[in-house]
Structure 1
Amino acid sequence: MKRLVCLILIGISTFAFGQQSSANDSLTNPLIPVNKQNLLKDFDLVFYMRYGLDSDFKQDKLATSRFSGNELRIDLSAKVHEKVGFRFRNRFTSAPIPGTLDNVNSTVDIAFIDVKATDKLNVTLGKLSADWGGYEFDLNPIEVLEYNDILNHSENYLVGVGVGYQVNEKHRFNVQVLNASANRLDKKGTIILPKGIEETKVPLAFVGNWRGSFWDNQFQTSYSYSYFTQAKNKGMYYIALGNKYQNKQLTWMYDFQYTHDAIDRHGIISSMSQEEKPIMAKDVAYLEHWTRLDYQVYPKLIFSLTLMTSNAYAQHTTVENAGNSHIRVSYGASPMIQYSPFKKLDLRFYAAYVGRWYANSSYAKTELGQVDGNTGRISIGFISPLQLL
C-alpha cells in the first residue's frame, strides 16, 4: 500500500513539474511571436449570424415550421502592409460550387486585396461585391429577410478589379470591371440558350457608382449604371438609384432599380414557361421599387418596415411578336421588431413577418399557364455580427 502511495505521489510531482515546464516554455516561446502580435491590431474576425424559428405559408396555408440557420458567414479583414489590406468573407449556408468561368467557389462572397495608391485613390483586385448602387444591397445580408426580385436573381459577387476615388468627404466615385458572371453562359442551369445565340469571348461587366452625402450626412445617395455582355451583340444595362435619410431615431431608404436584358440573365420570366427545359427569353425588362423604414422606438427597441414591388416585362416569350407585355407584378411587405438587451454587444432578438404576393397578366395565365399566388413566413430568432477580434 505504501508503495502504491509513493508511486502516485511521484506521478503527481512529475506531472506538476511537466506543467510548470510547459508553462515556462509557453512564456518563453508564445504561439504568436512577439514581433507578430502587433498585426492583431489590424485584424478583424466577425461571424455574421441569423438563426430563427421559421414558419412558412403558401396560399395562406402552413407548409412547414422548423428552426433554420438563415445566415452564417465569416468575415476576415487585415492590414498586411501600410498600403495593402485584405478581406475574405465566406458563407456556410449553401453548397460550394466552383464557377465555370472564374473557378471560385460560389460560397465565397468576397476575397480581395485593397491597395491604397494615394490618399484619395485605391484599387481592389479579386472577388468583389459588385457596386450596384442602392441601399437594399448595401445592407448586411443578415439584416435582409427577403430581397426584391432583381437582387434575389442576380450574381452579386464577381471577380475583377475596382478603382475608387474619394473626391472629398462628401463624394466618392467607384468604377469596376468584372466578369459578367461566375459561369459560362451555357452553364447557367436548366434554362437553355435560344438558337442563334453565341457566347461572347469577352464576357465582362462595367460598373460605375457615385456616392454622395448632403445636409451633414443626413441625406445620402448611391447611384450606379452597369453594362454587361455575355452573348455576341446581346447586352444588359442596369440602373440603380439609392436614397437614404437618417437622423437620431429614423432611417429611411428608397431604391429605384431598372434592368433591360437582351437575353434573360435573371431567368425570372424564362422560368415561367411550362416546358421541361425552358428557353431563355429575349428582350425582357424588370422595374422595381424598394423602401425600408427603421425607427428606434426606445434605446433597445427598433421597429422596421420593408415594402417592395417588382414588375416584369417581355417582348418575346413563347410566341413571336407578342408585343411589349407586362408579364407579372410582385409585392412584398415585411414588418419586424428588434430588441437589443446589451449596451456593448450588437445582439438583437427579432420577430418578423415576410409576405409576398404575385399577380400575373392575362397573357401569362393563358400562354404560360401561370396562376396568382402568395407566400408568407413568420420568423422569430436572433441577429448578430459577433466580432471576435
Structure 2
Amino acid sequence: MRALTALRDVTVAARLAMSLVLMAGGAVVSPVMFTADAAAPKVTLNPPASPSEDPTPSFTGTASKTTPITVLIYAGAAPKGTVVSTATATGTGAAWASGSASPALSSGQHTAVATQANPKDGGPADKSGPVTFTITPPDFTPAEFTPAEFTSAEAPVPASAAVPSSTPPLASFKWFPPVPQTGEPVSLVSISTDATSPITGFAWALTSTAPFQSGGALLTTSFSSPGGHVVRLRVTDANGLSSVAGGTIRVVGPTAPLMQPFPVVRIAGTETASGVKLRLLMVQQMPAGVKITVKCRGRGCPAKTPRRVVVSSKRGAASVEFRGFERFLRFGVTLQVLVSNPGEIGKYTRFAIRRGKLPERVDMCLDPTGVKPMVCPLSGT
C-alpha cells in the first residue's frame, strides 16, 4: 500500500491512497483508491528576484493547508546556521504571498525555506526546498536625491589644519504594504544612511510639490484616490548636510470581498490502468444564488458544460453534486470547477488526470467576473 498525497482546496486537505498488487508470473495493477482528506501539509516556495537591491524581500508559493506559513532566511548558500530574518504569510490552501522579511537583510547571498505547521497537534509539518538569492547594495543616482547647499564655519581655518571630509547622507525609504488600497493605512519607513555623521532630522512631503513637514523615521498616512502618488523624504545629518529621495506609490481601489461561506470542492475516485473512475464530484459550503460551472476538456468529456445555480437551504450552506462526472475519465482529461457570484471573489479548482503520474489538483480563487483564476488575497479563506 502506498500513500499518495495531492493538493487540496482551501479548507479540506487532499489525500490520495494507492494500492498496487504484484502477482507471481506477471505484474497485475489493481484499482488505486484516492480520496480528498489527507492530513500532511504540502508547501512550496518560489525563488525571489535575484540579484535585488531590496533588503526586505517578500515571497510567494503554494500550500495545501490554511495554517500560517513561515519563511526562514539564512545567510549563505545553504539553509544552515542561525536564521537571520523571517517572513510570514497566511495559509490559503492554495497560492500564498508573504509580507516583507524582517529584519532587513545585509548584502550578499541568502537561502530561504518555507515551512507550514500541521493543523493537527503533533502532526507532521512540511518544509519546501531551499531557494537561494542575492541582495546587492542600493545603487543611488543623482535623480534620487539632491544635496542641500551648505556653508563653511565662520571661523577661519588655519592653513596647516587638516579639513575633515564630509559627505551628505543617502536618503532612502520604503513603504508597507507595497500596493495599498484607497483609505488603507500606509507606513513610510526611512532606511537612509550616513557614513560620517548621525542623521538628526526627517521631513516628509506627500506630493511632488507639497512643502516638507518635519517628522520621524516612520510616518503613517493614507491615500483617498487610486493611481500613482509621489512621496519625498528629506534627511539631515549632524553636520547640517541633507539629501532628498522620492518614490511613487501605486494605490489601487478596494478589492472585492471573498464569497462567504467560501466553497469547498470535494473530489474522490479510483485510478485505473487507463484513467480514473470518479466516485464523487461535489461542491459544498456555498451561499444561495452562486453559479457553479464544471468545464471538461479531453477525450470522452460530456457534450454540454453543466451549470447550476445554488438555491437556499434550511440546513445552512448548500451542497451540489455533479453525478454526470462520477464515471470513468481517460488520461488527458482536465476538469475545471468555477464557483462565482458577481462582485465577489469565488472558488476555482482544476483537476488534471495524467498518465503515469498522480492526478494534479490546483486550487485558487476566481476573479469577481467569474472568468479568470487569481491568487487568493492574503486575508485567506
Normalising by structure 1, we get a TM-score of: 0.26
Q: Which structure carries more helix by proportion?
A: 1
Structure index of larger Rg: 2
Q: Which structure carries more strand by proportion?
A: 1
Normalising by structure 2, we get a TM-score of: 0.26
